[in-house]
A and B are shown apart, each in its own frame.
Chain A
């Protein structure tokens, strides 16, 4: 059994897939992967040309699977490469889309991964909170479970077209910058200090007031609230952090 260690990028994954891991072979991007007796570690050097050859075959078999696999690779789950590989192997094996074969465990797992990543990206189109900086740039820190920064950037760049903003994935130490025209993804420090505009506190207070007034206190249903809006997301939401 071999473990193919990649750099975590989709190209790295497809390069590893090129070496046709079979049977029990694994692809992983994690350094702390658990070793079993008699397994061999192969460090994969990302090779675009080899990756493109796998991709070209994949696109011939199923034009939509590339996007699905890129979503799977964004998952926080340590089994993402394995899930992606199983799915990829199934498609290449059948030479056709396998999306609809829902009683197949590999397809089902892939579907779940895709759904979880997409779902979280959708949630953050709602739960992300911007604060207005002194210089007029809006800053939004967040800590998503999965790597969804690139997925939500187009949504906000279209919606807030004329507004300069930064979306900061605090845990993964990267940020999306938008200046009203171009977008860029950059690496950051863990702590970024932003000086707020003078009106920011007032609007946060108004929002917290609105949040409290809109609640019907006679019908408490905290469980449902937490189901839809998990507590781990509250950290950057002013309505859950401001006690007035």
Chain B
């Protein structure tokens, strides 16, 4: 059995990776097996920082030969080091899983000796877990850049999800802060996995292999380098399109290491929150990155990106709730996917007025300024006042004038991006 000290070191080294989801795979249990995957994902616990524990997130080892400046495990750092054997990890996963502590394994590793050697040991762990321990639960595997492509695609046959971390939003920042990594060393394996998955997806019949059923994700640190939100969102959009990523995670920078090239202040959680909101707009609301923020622009702190967009496009509002198409309903500030869905369903039976929306618990605090119900406008402000607000926003004047649109109970629930 793994000892507590080792577990502690390997967990603390892994905890800054924000990805925690266990969704997207519907792997079935086998006859002699243990475990299956739940398509929607399951959270098993929550830590006092408000993040969920779903997978056993752990490093195979933290003796790293790389020297990325922002990383607490970089080669030059003076931290306790440990590595676990594949059997120790497997035993831990199985006994935690039997007690329903976890949904599966998230295995990552520092680059020990060489990328190939590291990837090989990770592969060994995953194969053992699947073949010897007959484990059918969720496995998320971190890819090691520069590792041999055969190792990688073999690993992908056993994992549910793989991820390569892009880490920093531009090649320039990568050169500066993580000299052993390059954009291409991350993009290349992502591209290969994506095309392999696509090719296998076209195969038909019972022999079709399972290959990364939960797809790929990536993560980048926000606030350690000077890129604007506009640039970051464009990068995300391109990755969603080119590699069919399931998620991009944003992790606001925490200074765990002091260095002259790194900011000594943590990037605010609010920025991370706004980026997640914008990311959601791109994935579920039909927005393009160029609509949300221009290239060099940062997202406003006072209100969410959808409000910002609506204020810039007041000529499209107000929309009539009983006639507007779904795409337009989704663009009303304060109306989300569920709200829009409820409205679409309910309005088939009778025309909805304002009190109907209230009864249906559609959030109207922001929406009221952008909609009409049966032709009637219920906003507290008349249109001119909202226009004035838009003007005020354009001149980027004081916070107080705009606070009308920022909800005070704004929770940073996207702290980890798990929602």
Contact = CB atoms under 8 A, between A and B. Distances in A.
B237 to A, nearest CB: 28
A48 interface: no
A126 B43 CA distance: 6
Contacts of A206: 1-2, 4, 7, 92
A160 interface: yes
Interface in A90-148: 100-103, 105, 108, 122, 125-132, 138, 140
B99 A203 contact: yes
B47 A125 contact: no
B1 A202 contact: yes
B33 A161 contact: yes
Contacts of A223: 50
B352 interface: yes
B101 A221 contact: no
A239 interface: yes
A24 interface: no
B11 A160 contact: no
Contacts of A127: 44-45
B15 interface: yes
A214 B359 contact: no
Given A102-B360, A130-B98, A222-B48, A214 B4 contact: no
Contact of A214 (B53, B92, B349): B53
A131 B15 contact: no
B42 A160 contact: no
Contacts of A125: 38, 42
Given A125-B38, A129-B100, A159-B29, A221 B11 contact: no
B346 A163 contact: no
Interface residues on B, range: 35 or more
Given A130-B99, A163-B34, A224-B411, A229 B46 contact: yes
A103 B33 contact: no
Interface string B81-100: 00000000000100110111
Given A129-B99, A160-B34, A214-B57, A225 B345 contact: no
B7 A224 contact: no
A214 B15 contact: yes
Contacts of B346: 100-103
B36 A221 contact: no
Contacts, number: 150
Interface in A7-38: none
B7 to A, nearest CB: 6
Interface residues on A, range: 35 or more
A209 interface: yes
Contacts of A182: none
B53 A211 contact: yes
Contacts of B342: 102
B100 A128 contact: yes
Nearest to A226: B46
A192 interface: no
Contacts of A225: 46-50
A151 B368 CA distance: 40
B415 interface: yes
A217 B356 CA distance: 44
B352 A237 contact: no
A210 B48 contact: no
Contact of A239 (B45, B51, B52, B356): B45
A217 B49 contact: yes
Nearest to B411: A224
A163 B98 contact: yes
Interface in B281-314: none
B348 A100 contact: yes
A70 B301 CA distance: 46
Contacts of A156: 100
A205 interface: yes
B11 A213 contact: yes
A117 B92 CA distance: 33
A229 B45 contact: yes
A215 interface: yes
Given A126-B44, A216-B254, 15 more contacts: A126-B45, A129-B100, A138-B98, A140-B100, A159-B35, A161-B29, A209-B4, A209-B11, A216-B16, A219-B269, A223-B50, A224-B46, A224-B412, A224-B413, A228-B46
23 contacts: A103-B350, A103-B356, A125-B38, A127-B44, A132-B99, A155-B38, A156-B100, A161-B34, A199-B1, A206-B7, A207-B99, A209-B11, A213-B7, A213-B8, A213-B11, A214-B47, A215-B47, A215-B49, A220-B48, A220-B49, A224-B50, A225-B47, A239-B101
Going nearest first, the 8 A-B pairs with the smallest beta carbon separation are: A224-B50, A221-B50, A213-B11, A215-B47, A103-B356, A102-B346, A100-B345, A229-B46
